[in-house]
Structure 1
């Protein structure tokens, strides 16, 4: 897997403080794990470590999509600047591309850029659930999964 960068000052506000002590790093990792569970993301086993704004994910998931969704969920959290996703995938499939939303973007516009068809916005929306609850609620700086075309 890979390391994906995020805008540290944007995203869900779930962390209670800067990870400057081992105790706070452990608390932040626990907060991130609770967030993954709250979203109902699927995994076989997972370990999360958080050092400063850097998060490392290890463990095992069934699909590439599961690994990517977990990585994006913890990455799109305020205070996280990068996620190194080392999760093992049971069923191999192509990795998605990632896109950072800019001002003026919509899922339709992004679908047009990647798929040549603005009507395929729902492919991107579905690929980013449950982090996205509405196709019209994206924000500049948010990182999205763009699945490979089938």
Structure 2
């Protein structure tokens, strides 16, 4: 649990979102559900550029993906994570993509091996559809 920072002027553009304001809570919740990220009693609320998420995630991995699905949307600067986790596990690191980055470059910096780019890609599915489709400002999970 905690507050996670995102870059509010980049990300998935949902209906009703702008750089000044996040999308309505129901649109962000639909984005989370679209990715098949299931949480018991998932509740999403929005206040300005902050999204608050409550409920219970089945695993820490799903919790982190819910945070990323909500935070990587246009207009969201912070995600207040209040999710409980049914089966706690190790936390992954979050990494903000910079201009010129690709998954191989990130893997080299994080793991010392560019060939581990697929570990990062797999850790960010279903939000990532292709390893080459990342953008500056996007936040990714970097598993341990």
Q: TM-score range by the shorter chain?
A: over 0.9
Q: Does 1:6 align with 2:6?
A: yes
TM-score, structure 1 normalization: 0.90
Aligned positions of 1:1-150 closer than 5 A: 1-17=1-17, 28-148=24-144
Runs of 4+ in 1 over 2 A off after TM superposition: none
What CA distance in whole angstroms lies between the structure 1 residues aligned with 2:15 and 2:142? 27
Q: Report the structure, 1 or 2, having the larger helix content.
A: 1
What CA distance in whole angstroms lies between the structure 2 residues aligned with 1:143 and 1:2? 16
What 5-or-longer segments of structure 1 have no aligned partner?
none
Q: Secondary structure at the match of 2:43?
A: strand
Count of aligned positions? 143
Q: Secondary structure at the match of 1:86?
A: strand
Q: CA deviation at 1:44?
A: 2.0
What CA distance in whole angstroms lies between the structure 2 residues aligned with 1:114 and 1:95? 15
What 5-or-longer segments of structure 2 have no aligned partner?
none
